[in-house]
Chains A and B, each alone.
Chain A
Amino acid sequence: MAVVELREVWKSYGAKTVLRGLSLEAPAGRITAVLGPSGSGKTTMLRIIAGLEEPDRGAVLMDGRDVTSLEPRERGVSMVFQYPALFPHMTAYENIMFAARRLRLPRDELDARIRMLANLLEIDDILDKRPGQLSGGQQQRVALARALVVEPRVLLLDEPLSHIDARLRESLKLLIRRIRVELGITMIYVTHDQDEALEVGDKVAVLVDGVIVAEGDEPYTLYLKPGHPEAARLFLHNMVPVGLSDQPVWPWTGNFKGSDAVAGFPPEAVRLGEGPWEGVVEDVVAQRGRILVVLRVGETVVRCYVPHGGHVPRTGDRVRFGLDEGLVSVYRG
């Protein structure tokens, strides 16, 4: 395992600048989840770490050593792509073995290693099948086995679960966590799904428009107080323009009157049923493990959750609510 560090990395494709002085440190033996919207430069960042792309400026370091000019196969890095990227003319076993040969170990040792990984990833019974005969989830697990068999110092995961159905996604997320525990590999996991980033990452960084705008070693704390409006939007916080609002309902309105300030707070900051404010229920949505309530408060909309066992309002109900003001951030400009 290795510490991966990106220092002031810039990358452009023609006139489009994708990475703008990006700096990030991924600690050894942990999963760093990088959350970002489409086009924010997540894949480019991973490809630069892997050596599949060259940065225009900046450096990639592994354990303090500059590897920017090394070829991909010389970096000790593995990557699981968004698409499984298996060779279509090889069986699952041959795909894994193709990568394993790089270790230059005796054939039976490589074979034992593949069988062990196949067991861990539950692909023992599909090793003789070609990619065309496998489901998306099976292909992605084979790709994961191929990435792990070379004993990488760093494993890069580029939205590996984006094309996989929800049920399988859950088990693969757990599997990736288990691999981190059992093999202790440094992983960088990029995704556009905030839940996935929070569930998988030991550390979470938010990438917007080619730069890291927020990061934290405690994902849930970062989620509650990201400290940057773009990060807050990605975490689906309530974003309330406070300076322009004439509504007297918000406690901070007076302080920011006439400015373009925005108040952001997570749905978890809203306490339904008690408090100084009132809203009208616009919608009630059943989500996995919780119920989302959409409230209209004056000109704005506030999303919040009904706590487990709490009273579920109906559409059209007027309900009172309060705010955990410690979780409210005001972003200016």
Chain B
Amino acid sequence: MDEPRGWRLGRAERLALTLGPLLVVFFLAYLPLLQVAAKPGPSTLAEVLSDPAVKRVAAFTFKQALVSAALSVALGAPAGALMALRRPRGSGLVSALSLVAFMSPPMVVAVGFRAVYGRGGVLSSLVPQLRVLGEGFWGIIAAHVFYNSPIALNLVYTALSAVPRDLVDSSRLFGSRLDTVRRVLIPYAAPALAASFVLAYMYCFTSFAIPITIGASPRYNTLESYLYTVYRFLYTDPGQAARAASALALLQVSLLAPFAAIYVILSRKLPHAPVGEAARPGGRPGVLAPAYMVFLAAFYALPLTSIYLRALLDPYTGKVSLSGYRGVLGEEFRSVVQTSHAAVLANTAYYAYMVVLISLVVSTLLAVSESRLTEIIAVSVIAVSPATLGLALYLAYSGIGARWLLIILAHVAAGLPIVSRPIVLGFQRVLSREIVDPLRLYSKSMVDGFLNVLAPLLRNQYLVAASLAAVVSLGEFGATMMLHTRDTITLSIAVHKLAAARRPQMAFAEASILTTLSLALLVFMARWRQRWL
């Protein structure tokens, strides 16, 4: 019999638990967004919407997002299905590399693609035809597929891993193999396929670092990068710049909101099965499967490894050289980035630390509330692009004056849909009758129960969430670009500045530092074996 579970709480306590996280998300994202909505006024809105440049940018944004999302699903979904159903050799490695790819800082991915496929790239210097993947439209698409195919891979893998073995066995007993695929596997995988397409579309729609680094031309502006250009460079009057950027932000949010709503609906249909429960209909992986695994492993690993290669090799002599690292630590860095490398590292570390602390508290509030509305509102933040978030926070809270605080809040909001997930899932698992009932009977108090039972049981989820929050903060680009000042530059922004100033070896060296930090966190996270994507 389905009876309510959880603590016996009064109406006021329940209301507080629901309202608390709602208020946090409201102040973090929705109140700032209201400021954006109020900013432009009808005339600016009409002006911006009728601007041919905006129409061109919007059309390109839509086109590249659609192609990128379709190709991401086309590459990732078969791999996920293959890994869940046949487990070809190398599945574990591809799975790990795909997660590294997904969590890599956008600037690292952009620089990594140039390192492999761009001018003088590791592969493009051997096969010149591959340069198409290092620049222009197809370069942007390839980098987006690198970034987003892991979503399809992991969601489809998890979905098919959750198919009960009994279901597959009885389907095979009473029907054909095709019946098993049609009636069991496809219904299980369909929400994951749809969710990965929608998620990939949204991420590509709001892409910033990749179009400005790989596209490197106004032709390849997305609404996100154009919003930044409008806000920072197009107007001399800051008020007019804010109004025009707000109009663009509104356009972007309204174009993304339906997709976010669809994702919220789909995300509730996604299973959260632990690894290792796959129902395998049988059969051998064949010859193509290992080849596919090798291709994916190379596709995911090359951009990151090439960053290290390019950072260590002199572009002219081809010999090992530490000049990139020397440049990063020297005066040249200060002249380009306009602050010291130590300050950049200190900013990055401090922001990540604060983002971890705040994200864990907010995620806990979301998890404890057990309210569907709260969860939906947290996930819906995904419709707000990083640049919009940066602009919105600036408009709402610039009076505070502390730009570092706005950057931290932006990182928390940007990471919330991902960071809160392991904690929310952990609470859903742990707050079962098997745990809660004896806890209520035998613990000395609620605090005693939380500290002695819930906290130890949720330790792994918290460690994973903390690592995710730190990785998101390390790599966050869009909001930080909008908000940063000379005193608040982070590693991601420094990589961009070095690449834009045509200091490739220094950019690769700086990107390698950022990659190392992210990788260290991802390796730490992998220890706790919690699924989060």
Chain A bound to chain B: yes
Contacts of A101 in B (CB 8 A): 444
Shortest CB–CB separation between residue B131 and chain A, in angstroms? 54
- When chains A and B are docked, how far (Å) is the Cα of A50 from the Cα of B438? 11
Shortest CB–CB separation between residue A51 and chain B, in angstroms? 7
- When chains A and B are docked, how far (Å) is the Cα of A99 from the Cα of B453? 12
Contact A52 B8 (CB under 8 A): yes
Contacts of A13 in B (CB 8 A): 1-4
- When chains A and B are docked, how far (Å) is the Cα of A51 from the Cα of B3? 14
Contact A81 B438 (CB under 8 A): yes
Contact B8 A54 (CB under 8 A): yes
Q: A13-B2, A39-B1, A83-B434 are in contact. Are A52 and B457 (CB under 8 A)?
A: no
Q: Does B398 contact A (CB under 8 A)?
A: no
Main secondary structure of the interface of B (DSSP, over half): helix
Provide the A65-98 mask, 1 if CB < 8 A to any CB of B, else 0.
0000001110001110101011111000000001
Determine the residue in chain B with the shortest Cβ distance to A84.
B434
Contact A53 B3 (CB under 8 A): yes
Q: Does B233 contact A (CB under 8 A)?
A: no
- When chains A and B are docked, how far (Å) is the Cα of A272 from the Cα of B456? 63
Q: Does B435 contact A (CB under 8 A)?
A: yes
Contacts of B434 in A (CB 8 A): 81, 83, 85
Provide the A98-114 mask, 1 if CB < 8 A to any CB of B, else 0.
11011000000000000
Complex partner residue of B441 from A39, A79, A88, CB under 8 angstroms: A79
Q: A52-B8, A85-B433, A85-B438 are in contact. Are A73 and B444 (CB under 8 A)?
A: yes
Contact A52 B2 (CB under 8 A): no
Q: A13-B1, A51-B8, A54-B8 are in contact. Are A89 and B457 (CB under 8 A)?
A: yes
Contacts of A1 in B (CB 8 A): none
Contact A85 B435 (CB under 8 A): yes
Contacts of B456 in A (CB 8 A): 89
Q: Does A44 contact B (CB under 8 A)?
A: yes
Q: Does A150 contact B (CB under 8 A)?
A: yes
Contact B457 A88 (CB under 8 A): yes
Contacts of B437 in A (CB 8 A): 47, 52, 79, 81, 85
- When chains A and B are docked, how far (Å) is the Cα of A72 from the Cα of B440? 6
Q: Does B443 contact A (CB under 8 A)?
A: yes
Residues 6-59 (chain A) with a chain B CB within 8 angstroms: 13, 18, 39, 43-44, 47, 50-54
Contact B441 A50 (CB under 8 A): yes
Complex partner residue of A73 from B4, B433, B442, B457, CB under 8 angstroms: B442
- When chains A and B are docked, how far (Å) is the Cα of A47 from the Cα of B456? 26
Contact B435 A87 (CB under 8 A): yes
Contacts of A47 in B (CB 8 A): 3, 437
Shortest CB–CB separation between residue A104 and chain B, in angstroms? 8
Shortest CB–CB separation between residue B448 and chain A, in angstroms? 8
Contact B442 A98 (CB under 8 A): yes
Shortest CB–CB separation between residue B145 and chain A, in angstroms? 41
Contact B442 A150 (CB under 8 A): yes
- When chains A and B are docked, how far (Å) is the Cα of A83 from the Cα of B456? 21
Q: Does A146 contact B (CB under 8 A)?
A: yes
- When chains A and B are docked, how far (Å) is the Cα of A53 from the Cα of B457? 24
- When chains A and B are docked, how far (Å) is the Cα of A224 from the Cα of B428? 47
Shortest CB–CB separation between residue A318 and chain B, in angstroms? 43
Contact B441 A73 (CB under 8 A): yes
Q: Does B254 contact A (CB under 8 A)?
A: no
Shortest CB–CB separation between residue A60 and chain B, in angstroms? 14
Interface residues on chain A, number (Cβ under 8 Å): 30
Provide the A260-303 mask, 1 if CB < 8 A to any CB of B, else 0.
00000000000000000000000000000000000000000000
Contact A43 B441 (CB under 8 A): no
Contacts of A88 in B (CB 8 A): 457
Q: Does B452 contact A (CB under 8 A)?
A: yes
Contacts of B453 in A (CB 8 A): 87, 89, 98
Contacts of B457 in A (CB 8 A): 87-89
Q: A51-B8, A81-B437 are in contact. Are A99 and B442 (CB under 8 A)?
A: yes
- When chains A and B are docked, how far (Å) is the Cα of A81 from the Cα of B440? 13
Contact B440 A98 (CB under 8 A): no
Contact B8 A146 (CB under 8 A): no
Contacts of A83 in B (CB 8 A): 433-434
Determine the residue in chain A with the shortest Cβ distance to B4.
A13
Shortest CB–CB separation between residue A141 and chain B, in angstroms? 15
- When chains A and B are docked, how far (Å) is the Cα of A81 from the Cα of B5? 15
Residue of A50, A53, A87 with most partner-chain B CB within 10 A: A87
Contacts of B443 in A (CB 8 A): 73, 98, 102
- When chains A and B are docked, how far (Å) is the Cα of A44 from the Cα of B2? 11
Contact B1 A18 (CB under 8 A): yes
Shortest CB–CB separation between residue B327 and chain A, in angstroms? 50
- When chains A and B are docked, how far (Å) is the Cα of A10 from the Cα of B210? 62
Contacts of B441 in A (CB 8 A): 50, 52, 72-73, 77-79, 99
Contacts of B452 in A (CB 8 A): 98
Shortest CB–CB separation between residue A83 and chain B, in angstroms? 6
- When chains A and B are docked, how far (Å) is the Cα of A89 from the Cα of B457? 7
Contacts of B4 in A (CB 8 A): 13
Shortest CB–CB separation between residue B185 and chain A, in angstroms? 31
Residues 388-437 (chain B) with a chain A CB within 8 angstroms: 433-435, 437
Contacts of A78 in B (CB 8 A): 441-442
Determine the residue in chain A with the shortest Cβ distance to B456.
A89
Residues 1-47 (chain B) with a chain A CB within 8 angstroms: 1-4, 8
Residues 428-479 (chain B) with a chain A CB within 8 angstroms: 433-435, 437-438, 440-444, 452-453, 456-457
Shortest CB–CB separation between residue A56 and chain B, in angstroms? 13
Q: A54-B8, A73-B443, A73-B444 are in contact. Are A87 and B438 (CB under 8 A)?
A: yes
Contacts of A87 in B (CB 8 A): 435, 438, 453, 457
Shortest CB–CB separation between residue B528 and chain A, in angstroms? 14
Contacts of A50 in B (CB 8 A): 441
- When chains A and B are docked, how far (Å) is the Cα of A33 from the Cα of B95? 54
- When chains A and B are docked, how far (Å) is the Cα of A81 from the Cα of B434? 8
- When chains A and B are docked, how far (Å) is the Cα of A85 from the Cα of B430? 12
Shortest CB–CB separation between residue A177 and chain B, in angstroms? 23
Determine the residue in chain A with the shortest Cβ distance to B3.
A13
Contact B3 A102 (CB under 8 A): no
Shortest CB–CB separation between residue B9 and chain A, in angstroms? 11
Shortest CB–CB separation between residue A22 and chain B, in angstroms? 15
- When chains A and B are docked, how far (Å) is the Cα of A221 from the Cα of B339? 92
Contacts of B440 in A (CB 8 A): 51-52, 71-73
Determine the residue in chain B with the shortest Cβ distance to A18.
B1
Contact B444 A44 (CB under 8 A): no
- When chains A and B are docked, how far (Å) is the Cα of A54 from the Cα of B442? 18
Shortest CB–CB separation between residue B366 and chain A, in angstroms? 24
Contacts of A77 in B (CB 8 A): 441
Determine the residue in chain B with the shortest Cβ distance to A98.
B442
Shortest CB–CB separation between residue A37 and chain B, in angstroms? 12
Determine the residue in chain B with the shortest Cβ distance to A75.
B441
User: Besides A47-B437, A73-B441, A146-B442, 7 other CB < 8 A contacts?
Assistant: A13-B1, A13-B3, A43-B1, A71-B8, A72-B440, A83-B433, A98-B453
A-B contact pairs, 25 of them (CB 8 A): A13-B1, A13-B2, A13-B4, A47-B437, A52-B441, A71-B440, A72-B8, A72-B440, A72-B441, A73-B440, A73-B441, A73-B442, A73-B444, A77-B441, A78-B441, A78-B442, A79-B438, A79-B441, A81-B433, A81-B437, A83-B434, A87-B457, A98-B453, A146-B442, A150-B442
User: Which residues of A come within 8 Å of B, CB atoms?
Assistant: 13, 18, 39, 43-44, 47, 50-54, 71-73, 77-79, 81, 83, 85-89, 98-99, 101-102, 146, 150
